[in-house]
Amino acid sequence: MEAYSIPYEVRWTDIDANRHVRYSAYVDAAAEMRFRFFTEHNLTVEAFDRLGVGPVYTSMMVNFYREVLLGETLTITLLLAGLSPQGIRWKVWHDFRKSNGKKAVTVCIEGTFLDLTTRQPTLPSPEIMTVFQLVPRTPDFEVMSDNRWFGRKL
């Protein structure tokens, strides 16, 4: 599959006191992008509800390379940076590029799936795993351990 990208136009509400984009606006834009990707592949909010699971973050890293100002339009690209064999752990990479193609920001998020009844990490359904396999991979894609982040097995 080709890289999945969307445009992101910097809005007034994305700006901080220094007149550049606040870090949480990048995190919000990355979440919106993932939501769009899943929805376009029939993993809607209703589908996650029917499956009884939801994605949750276990860690997040934001790296800043270039200042971005009000009115600029960026391109965000989604890549799969890691996935455990059973899919209990995943890592996605969001690359924010300026209109000149230069890297502005990267957002890397690691997560798991939460069983919405037990409130515990759970294995994703085959339906979810199929969609994860559609996300283009980073060149340094990592096969992650199925052990949870605190070292116990599921």
Are 37 and 93 contacting, i.e. CB atoms less than 8 angstroms apart?
no
CATH code of the domain containing 22: 3.10.129.10
Q: Is the dihedral of CA 53, 58, 62, 68 positive or negative?
A: positive
Residue 130 domain-assigned?
yes
What total number of domains does the chain contain?
1
Residue 150 domain-assigned?
no
Residue 152 domain-assigned?
no
Rounded to an integer, what distance in angstroms lies between the CA atom of residue 4 and that of residue 15?
Answer: 26
Residue 14 domain-assigned?
yes
Q: Return phi, psi of residue 57, to 5°.
A: -85, 145
Q: Helix (H, G, I), strand (E, B), or coil: what is residue 150?
A: coil
Q: pLDDT truncated to tens, each residue of the chain (154 aa)? A: 678 999 999 999 999 999 999 999 999 999 999 999 999 999 999 999 999 999 999 999 999 999 999 999 999 999 999 999 999 999 999 999 999 999 999 999 999 999 999 999 999 999 999 999 999 999 999 999 987 644 555 4
Tell me whether strands 103-115 and 137-143 are parallel, antiparallel or unpaired.
Answer: unpaired
Residue span of the structural domain in which 67 resides: 4-93+109-139
